[in-house]
Structure 1
Amino acid sequence: MAVPLWLSARAAGWGAALIAARTDLVLWAPIAMGLGIGGYFSWPGEPGWPEVLVLVLLGTAGLAAWILAPEAGRFPSALLVLVCFGALLAVWRAHSVAAPVLTFRYYGPVEGRVIEVDRSARDKLRITLDQLVLSGVAMEKTPARVRLTLGPGPPPEPGFRVMTTAHLQPPPGPAEPGGWDFRRMAWFARLGAVGSAQAPVLVVEPPVPGDWSLAGDRLRRSLSQAMQARMEGQAGAVAAALMTGDRSGIETATNDAMRASGLYHIVSISGLHMGMLAGFVFAAVRYGLALAGSAALCWPTKKIAAVAALIAATVYLWIAGPEVATQRAYIMTAVMLAAVLFDRRALSLRTVALAAVAVMLLRPESLTEPGFQMSFAATVGLIVMLGPWTRWAQRLPARLRPVLVPVLGLALTSVVAGVATGPVAAAQFGRVSGYGLIANMLAVPVMGVAVMPAGVIAAVLAPFGLAAPALWLMEMGTRWMIFVAGHIAALDGAQGYVVQPGPAVLPLMAVGAAVAVVGRGVVRGVAVGAIVVAAGLWLAASRPALLIASGGQAVGLMTPAGRVLSKPGAEFAVAEWLQADGDASSPATAFARIGFEGPRAQRSAVWENHVVVHLSGKAGPEAVRAVCHDGAIVILAGRAGADQDVAGCTLWDLPRLNQSGAVAYDTRRQVRVTDVPGRLRLWSLRGNRF
């Protein structure tokens, strides 16, 4: 049977499009790798050898087709290879960082080397230790690293070996099924336990002479303390965070104001900081060399400036520490400067694609982090906007360009970056900054024009004792940014809250946006359709009707007035629930809502014609028999007796919750648990191999 001419023509057109797409393979590479990496992290259980073998076979077949297939088949074959490679890379990375995880609660002496000092969300100083010794714990079962929240007093410096008495526990799981899993972050950070130490921290021995592994950390702390000594109050703490990455001096009130105003990205070293620093050094060196007159015409001043900027960025990375966000920012900056050295455009989609591939090669888990998603979303958005903006700016009246171009460019940059990163921030953090555009327009230019250049100048002049004027300028700039954050955060409607989307929304939206940028024709239309579908799924998202904390400390029931709590305990889990609900209320407000009643040790509520009972305290196990009837849901923050008859109810006691993790019921009483037997991941406590 003859093939219709229209179908033959359409097939020929598709073939030609696939052949042409091979020239854009570098743009598609991070998308394909990201699909593979994302597939690994979203897999319902830890992939075993059968899944790995399938990936290897598919990748091998794709590689063969990439080499041997007709021209039209090579592009999809290459994408298949990259998807399989991304998945296998994630599998390898997850196993390569494997380290022991504490499987029990520990209280006793803890000895180790300080490798990091930071501050918790509750404004408490923390230290991270490695080279650990735990009393009574075999070395092969001792975590590679632990993180301790400290009591009052100054923290020890990185590199010092210290000893204290501490409570330790395994990294906690998600607050609810499908929620953010701290265990995964801890796994890739090789963090095997977390805890607190109220006892004094004693120095056992100073840093080992000749050990340069933590020299940058010690220099960072020294520079941070020197800056805070010269600049009083939070201005010094924010300036230290900008220049050294040490955020331990920033108070909770300042952090909250920065978040509410949409300026929190300022105090976390990212592509913005690295780009500003490298850009200032690049411009200063290039224009400085131009002063050499005719000799500068013979020098490759642009490349010399790029080398100087790369050196400055490398030193900045060494001082700021090996945090993932800092490394990611450095890679992006280094790739762009390398493009200058090879006579390529520094700001292009290809450069960003190469940077994304480099980051995923080093740390595939970065794909799941908000910083990675927001950094690349903002950068791609700005590059896409750059072409149309340049053409439009040329149409402005010549007399007004010197004024309008900077002002409108800044406003447009803030709008584009906000639009690109807004959905990610809302999905990841459940918050939307109502006046973030205004705050960024007021603060970011000061940071780029005054604060970061003054920091670089101060660093150059400090050895000669001439840094005071630059530090003064830096202090004035940081005070202005804090002033803007505080006043914007105080406005009504400064911060809005949104319901957490389902697990498919953000990946679908991200892939759709990426394909819409690099795709063409019908492919671009399908990508836009995927974004629309993701938005529809987000709008239709629903929250669990009943939530149970993993330790049984709290129960949350959704009511028309919002989620009501059985108890104000389990503060972290409860705060996560309310944030995911899009509820700005505090745990105390949620506890005060009408729903649960009864004495503290036996709280009860009615849901869907069934009783929900939360038992706690010493009398809790004995009370199970009296409430376990008529299909009640009973939560016991303890262990039920072996002789208890629980046939008349659904009982969630501590042993069962220890196995399941947090529990969620939907409106149809369908149950989801965090840890499903047979579907555990490496970072699940019962899924790791130690």
Structure 2
Amino acid sequence: MQLLLRKATKNLPVLGQFDAVQHMHSEWRLMLPVVGFGIGCALYVATDLPFPSLWIHTGILFSCLFAGVVLRIQKYPAVVFLAAVSAGTLCAGLRIAFIDSPIVKYEHFREIEGKALEIEGSAGNSTRLSLELTRIDGAPEGLPAKVRLIARGDVPENLKVGALVRLPVILRPPQGPIVPGGFDFSRRSYFSGIGAEGFVAGPIDILEDDGNEFEAWAAIQNVRIQVADRLLNSMNGDVGGIAAALAVGRRDEVSNATKDDFRDAGLAHLMAISGLHMGLVTAAAFFTLELVIAFVPIWALRLQPKKAAAFGAWIVALGYLLLSGAGTSTIRAFIMVSVGLLAVVLDRRVLSLRSVALAAIFILTIWPESVVSVGFQMSFAATSALVAFFEKYGSSALFRIHIGGPVVRAVKFLLVTLATTLVAELAISPFALYHFQATSMVGLAANLLAVPLTSLVIMPLLLLYTLLLPVGLESLVVPVLEPALQVLLWTAHFFGGENYAVFHVPQTTPIFLVVSAFGLISVLLTRGRMQVGIMALALLVAPLSFRPVHFGVLIDNGGRVVAQSGDETFAISGGRRGTFRDLAWARFWGNDLANEPEKLQKLCTMEACVVQLTSGETVAIVKMLDALRQHCATSNIVVLPRRWKGYCKGSALQISEEDIEYKGPAAIDLATGSLSWSRPQGNRPWNSLP
């Protein structure tokens, strides 16, 4: 690659004196195979492209590695990159192959037995339950590994994590995407071992209080519940809910209005335990322990304060990981801080792209599917951008906050916070636009207030609160913690409550995400004039690659729910309002989530229901065969049973109820008459339903 870069620029009149290799980052040889590994993982997980067998990939991988060794691997990075892509594909394929969890194919009623893994409240007096199955209808064979259920109404008060329960349920396949190109919930469920979801259809019978194999995990989960309850009892309303969310990841006690304001203010990352929270807790523990060890003479003489503090901070981070529920994003954050603390122990630089690359390759090796998750993408985008920023400007006088008087240091702190917030916001904006179809317009100002408050006050106080719980002195922290949380809550309401707080865009194609990610990676791999040029090119090309979808109609639930896009909001007929489907469809069309959808006109008879679209077209949901000929001739879109398709004559677009059930919702472009399905169909286990 070095030779190719030099030859490519040698004979150019402007670039004749320009050595491209010298403008690469010093760690580019390490970062490039990590990028290749991630590309291999993404190709296998996110697409439905046919790939050779795992044995062929293994042969390609070892062939590339052998060639790299023989040809001196450092001189041929292209060989390493190809091997990394093959290794990523192989790793993702093995991960999928080793998950042996049957998936429920149809909706049906069953009686199940299983161990309670998670118990969490949700909106509308409902409880979310996750069970590890032991029996279905008395049979222990052919079971999905886990099921996720919604229990309406009250659940037994003595139901705890680890309990063995028996209950009647209605099971169905895990839900797929709600819009074309949307988030694939069935893929996430598959990698989580969840083979079915549904509703509790009767009383829950507790057969045992706990099980030996779940004893440790159940104890940790019950401690989480107790900590959350103590916080909620100490501080009322959303203040207590926010404290529980930051401390143990329990967000069910935060009102929907407050969640919306946090999201619109660009502060949603504070509500989900991730790298920021793990980093803050670990940093607070590290600096506190280092200070304590340095001030105790006998410890300072026998120990190296920095390395001892790193080990102690790692123990605290591990405890926070368990207390927060050990979710995937939290485990990812724990791995990242572990790599940083290891760098401290080994006397390496903590803030380096080498550490970020090592953390990424470690995470992708264990969870290759993480590469397509929004948490992984935004977390590593922000972290990589901040590390690169500090590598370049961290030694400047502005970042030496400890130098100067109180006023100078305060000004420097605010400027550094502003700069880092701006860099992080710019890095994650393309990913937010693609995944959420929105980005906060006030996020910079809101984070400028909220992040220092959370970093310097709230998280250290929550850590102290948790440490004082066993001795019953946590109430000493509440008089300081509660006002700080109230300020954070006020910040979210102040910035997120404005109409101009969020910029909405419609759903775009994956090309925008690929171009944005490629631009960011290219900027990280380069330096100097090449970096500036690539950055300018990325800022130009990325907006040009943004192509909104043109599907104006969405049909779901066997045709009983029909919606059409509009300027400010969409119009819909059928279904309940305020559901997650409504929110997802509003995002799909780039509508403000606060706007209530309008109502489409619908006329139903015994033979059919006809929905009148705002643009004049009609959608007919045919119930009786006698009315099929009339509606096939007069309607623009006809929803009918698959077995009736041979009787429908005319130019109407025909959509079967069965296809909507297993592939839907259906998306229609009225201008071209094209039809697209939300759920991908292919040879991956999570999208191979009938």
TM, length-normalised to structure 2: 0.88
C-alpha separation in 1, matches of 2:152 and 2:514 = 40
Matched ranges for 1:562-581 at <5 A = 563-568=570-575, 571-581=579-589
Q: How does 1:122-161 map to 2 (within 5 A)?
A: 124-135=126-137, 139-153=140-154, 156-161=159-164
Counterpart pick for 1:466 among 449, 461, 473: 473
Q: Say if 2:620 is the partner of 1:614.
A: yes
Distance 1:527 1:418, change over 3 A: closer
AA partner of residue 603 (structure 1): V
Contact residue 174 and residue 196 of structure 2 kept, 8 A: yes
8 A contact 1:101–1:141 mirrored in 2 = no
Q: Secondary structure at the match of 1:493?
A: helix
Contact 1:546–1:556 (Cα < 8 Å) also in 2: yes
Q: Matched residues in 2 for 1:220 and 1:436: separation? A: 30
Match of 1:350 in 2: 354
Q: 1:373 is aligned with what amino acid?
A: Q
Contact 1:451 1:473 in 2 (8 A): no
Calculate the TM-score normalised by the size of structure 1. Answer: 0.88
Matched, 1:388 2:393: yes
- CA–CA distance in 2 between the matches of 1:423 and 1:178? 16
Q: Is the 1:574–1:587 contact (alpha carbons within 8 Å) kept by the matching residues of 2?
A: no
SS in 2 for 1:628: helix
1:233 equivalent to 2:234? Answer: no
Q: Aligned with 1:213: secondary structure? A: helix
CA distance in 1: counterparts of 2:141 and 2:625, whole angstroms: 37
Q: Which amino acid aligns with 1:114?
A: A
> CA 1:523–1:683 in 2, change beyond 3 Å: closer, same or farther?
farther
CA distance in 2, matches of 1:234, 1:361: 39
Match of residue 271 from structure 1: 275
Alpha carbons of 1:585 and 1:333: their partners in 2 closer, same or farther (altered >3 Å)? closer
* Structure 1 residues 402-441: Cα deviation after superposition (integer angstroms, max 9, x where no partner): 2211121222222222222222122211222222222222
Name the SS of the counterpart of 2:224 in structure 1.
helix
CA contact (8 A) 1:132 1:145 kept: no
Q: Residue 551 of structure 1 aligns with which residue?
A: 558
Q: Distance in 1 between matches of 2:615 and 2:460?
A: 62
> What are the superposed Cα offsets for residues 257-292 of structure 1, whole Å, 9 maximum, x if unpaired?
221222221121111111111101111111112212
Q: Which runs of 5+ in 1 are unaligned?
A: none
Aligned to 2:415: 408
Q: Secondary structure at the match of 2:499?
A: coil
Name the SS for the 1:683 alignment partner.
helix
Report whether the alignment pairs 1:507 with 2:514.
yes
1:107 aligned residue: 109
Match of 1:331 in 2: 335
Whole-Å separation in 2 of the counterparts to 1:608 and 1:62: 57
Shift of 1:88: 1.1
State whether residues 54 and 94 of structure 2, in contact with CA within 8 Å, keep that contact through their aligned partners in structure 1: no
**8 Å contact 1:117–1:248 — kept in the other structure?**
no
**Given that residues 114 and 161 in structure 1 are in contact (C-alpha distance below 8 angstroms), is that contact kept between their aligned partners in structure 2?**
yes
Distance (whole Å) between structure 1 residues aligned to residue 99 and residue 251 of structure 2: 26
Distance in 2 separating the partners of 1:440 and 1:8: 43
Between Structure 1 and Structure 2, how many residues are aligned? 671
CA contact (8 A) 1:147 1:194 kept: yes
Answer yes or no: is 1:649 the counterpart of 2:652: yes
Helix, strand or coil for the counterpart of 1:171?
Answer: coil
Separation in structure 1 between the aligned mates of residue 7 and residue 653 of structure 2, nearest angstrom: 62
Kept in 1: contact 2:165–2:207 (CA 8 A): yes
Picking from 680, 685, 688, the partner of 1:682 is 685
**Contact 1:22–1:75 at 8 Å: present in 2 too?**
no
Quick one: which of 449, 454, 459 aligns to 1:452? 459
Going from structure 1 to structure 2, the CA distance change for 1:569 and 1:384 (only over 3 Å counts) comes to same
**Alignment-derived partner of residue 285 in structure 1:** 289
Distance 1:125 1:261, change over 3 A: farther
Corresponding residue SS for 1:481: helix
Counterpart contact for 1:664–1:672, Cα < 8 Å: yes
Can you list the C-alpha shifts for 1:524-543, whole angstroms capped at 9, x where unaligned?
445753553232111x4233
Other-structure match for 1:91 = 93
Tell me the distance in 1 between the aligned counterparts of 2:491 and 2:567.
37
Deviation at 1:89, TM superposition (A): 0.8
Which residue does 2:443 correspond to in 1? Answer: 436
Q: Bigger CA drift: 337-346 or 122-131?
A: 122-131
| Structure 2 CA distance for aligned equivalents of residues 477 and 33 of structure 1 | 43
Deviation digits for residues 53-90 of structure 1 (CA, Å, limit 9, x no counterpart)? 55334323322331122677521111111111111111
CA distance in 2, matches of 1:568, 1:220: 36
My pick for the range that moved more, 528-537 or 59-68, is: 528-537
Paired residue for 2:249, among 236, 245, 257? 245
How far does the alpha carbon of each residue in 1:474-514 deviate from its partner, in whole angstroms, 9 at most, with x for none? 22322221222123222231223112221121122112201
Instruction: Tell me the CA shift for residue 653 of structure 1.
Output: 2.2
Counterpart-to-counterpart distance in 2, 1:10 and 1:252: 62
In the superposition, relative to structure 1, how do residues 290 and 8 fare at CA in structure 2: closer, same or farther (>3 Å)?
A: closer
Deviation at 1:559, TM superposition (A): 5.2
> 1 CA distance for matches of 2:26 and 2:80?
9
Offset of residue 366 of structure 1 = 1.0
Partner of 2:189: 186
CA contact (8 A) 1:260 1:489 kept: yes
Listed one character per residue, the Cα deviations across residues 175-221 of structure 1 (whole Å, up to 9, x for unaligned) are 23322211101110111111122634332210124732332212211
| Letter of the structure 2 residue corresponding to residue 591 of structure 1 | K
Q: 1:100 to 1:253 in 2, by over 3 A?
A: same
Give the letter for the 1:580 counterpart: F
Match among 494, 499, 514 for residue 492 of structure 1:
499
Moved more, 392-401 or 582-591: 392-401
Q: 2:80 aligns with which of 66, 78, 81?
A: 78
- Which range moved further: 541-550 or 87-96? 541-550
Where 2:202 maps in the other structure, the secondary structure is coil
How much has 1:685 moved relative to structure 2? 4.2
The alpha carbon displacement at 1:468 in A equals 1.5
Measured after TM superposition, the shift of residue 654 of structure 1 is 1.3
| One-letter amino acid matched to 1:682 | P
Q: How much does 1:103 deviate?
A: 1.1
Cα pair distance change 1:347/1:71, threshold 3 Å: closer
- Residue type at the aligned position of 1:41: V
Summarize the alignment of residues 510-525 of structure 1 with structure 2, pairs less than 5 Å apart: 510-520=517-527, 524=531, 525=533
Query: In the superposition, relative to structure 1, how do residues 496 and 329 fare at CA in structure 2: closer, same or farther (>3 Å)?
Result: same
**SS in structure 1 opposite 2:343?**
helix
After superposition, the Cα gap between the structure-2 partners of 1:676 and 1:411, relative to the gap in structure 1 and judged at 3 Å, is closer
What corresponds to 1:204 in structure 2?
A: 207
Amino acid at match of 1:412: A
Task: Tell me the secondary structure at the aligned position of residue 141 of structure 1.
Answer: coil
Matches of 2:432 and 2:625, distance apart in 1: 43
Alignment of 1:246-261 (within 5 A): 246-261=250-265
Given that 1:148 and 1:197 are in contact with CA atoms closer than 8 Å, whether structure 2 keeps it comes out as yes
Looking at structure 2, the residues matched to 517 and 7 of structure 1 have their Cα atoms a distance apart, in angstroms, of 21
* 2:60 corresponding residue in structure 1: 58
Cα distance, 1:608–1:499 mapped onto 2, change above 3 Å? closer
Task: State whether structure 2 residue 176 is matched by structure 1 residue 176.
Answer: no
Specify every segment of 5 or more residues in structure 2 that has no aligned partner in the other structure, as ranges: 1-5
**How far apart, CA to CA, are the structure 2 residues paired with 1:240 and 1:364?**
30
